[in-house]
């Protein structure tokens, strides 16, 4: 009864939210205000510790594409910012509240504005769907679960830390990582919709991810089930399905 009560209390601490476009119900233990504050704080750290690109034309290009997608995001309350970081890593991210950062490495892979919009839509989708807050909520609930089960099973105190570590590994593979892959699929779907709504060509998303797949084949990657990102073939197939589901433009 104590175990059930503690788990129920952990669940009740959270609330429910719904993702845009996919309308998936989410478990949240982080408020929107907390999330926005975290995003603003982390953005300042990124700006202080990263070297921003001095290529004004590139900065303007990313900002133009970002603003066009932000305009159809339905989040006029976000303080949208778009920055390019001088870094060869093929990466981009969007912090809560609309702080978007592109690395020059990923811009070398994107062959045109539509492909940049593919990345932009995907990263903005993560922020719109509050994936960061959801992941943090699940991790918090997971940590509570580890402590509760260790107590309920009467595990000696000297072994509880070891158990918690083992539980963390189990929950990481069994819960957190699959949800990370779910978030990636969801961000792909929402991102495709956003770029289409903003007037970009979603077919170019296939070209971009094919380029990324070729890049990944030349590098070492963990098995798909241990990766936070879906397998390339799976991702491209699902994106093709998302594109087919889009309304026909008149």
Active site members: 123
- On whether the CB atoms of residues 190 and 22 are closer than 8 A, the answer is yes
184: left (phi over 0), alpha (psi -120 to 50) or beta: alpha
Pairwise CA distance, residues 128 & 123, whole Å: 9
Instruction: Give the contacts of 205 (CB within 8 A, at least 6 positions apart).
Output: 114, 115, 118, 188, 191, 192, 195, 239, 243
In the Cβ-directed half-sphere of 161, how many Cα atoms lie within 13 Å? 1
């Amino acid at each position: 009864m104590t175990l059930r009560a503690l788990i129920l209390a952990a669940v009740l601490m959270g609330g429910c939210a719904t993702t845009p476009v996919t309308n998936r119900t989410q478990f949240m233990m982080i408020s929107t205000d907390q999330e926005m504050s975290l995003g603003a704080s982390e953005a300042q750290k990124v700006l202080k510790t990263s070297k921003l690109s001095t290529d004004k034309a590139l900065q303007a290009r990313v900002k133009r594409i970002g603003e066009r997608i932000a305009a159809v995001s339905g989040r006029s309350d976000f303080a949208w910012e778009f920055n390019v970081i001088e870094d060869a890593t093929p990466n981009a991210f969007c912090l809560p509240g609309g702080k978007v950062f592109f690395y020059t490495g990923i811009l070398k892979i994107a062959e045109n504005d539509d492909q940049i919009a593919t990345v932009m839509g995907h990263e903005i989708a993560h922020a719109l769907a509050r994936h960061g807050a959801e992941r943090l909520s699940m991790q918090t609930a997971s940590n509570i679960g580890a402590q509760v089960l260790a107590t309920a099973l009467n595990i000696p105190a000297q072994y509880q830390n070891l158990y918690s570590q083992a539980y963390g590994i189990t929950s990481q593979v069994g819960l957190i990582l699959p949800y990370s892959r779910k978030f990636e699929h969801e961000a792909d779907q929402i991102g495709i919709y956003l770029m289409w709504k903003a007037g970009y060509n979603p077919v170019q998303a296939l070209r971009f991810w094919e380029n990324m797949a070729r890049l990944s084949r030349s590098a070492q990657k963990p098995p798909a089930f241990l990766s936070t990102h879906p397998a390339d073939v799976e991702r491209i197939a699902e994106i093709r399905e998302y594109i087919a589901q889009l309304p026909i433009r008149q």
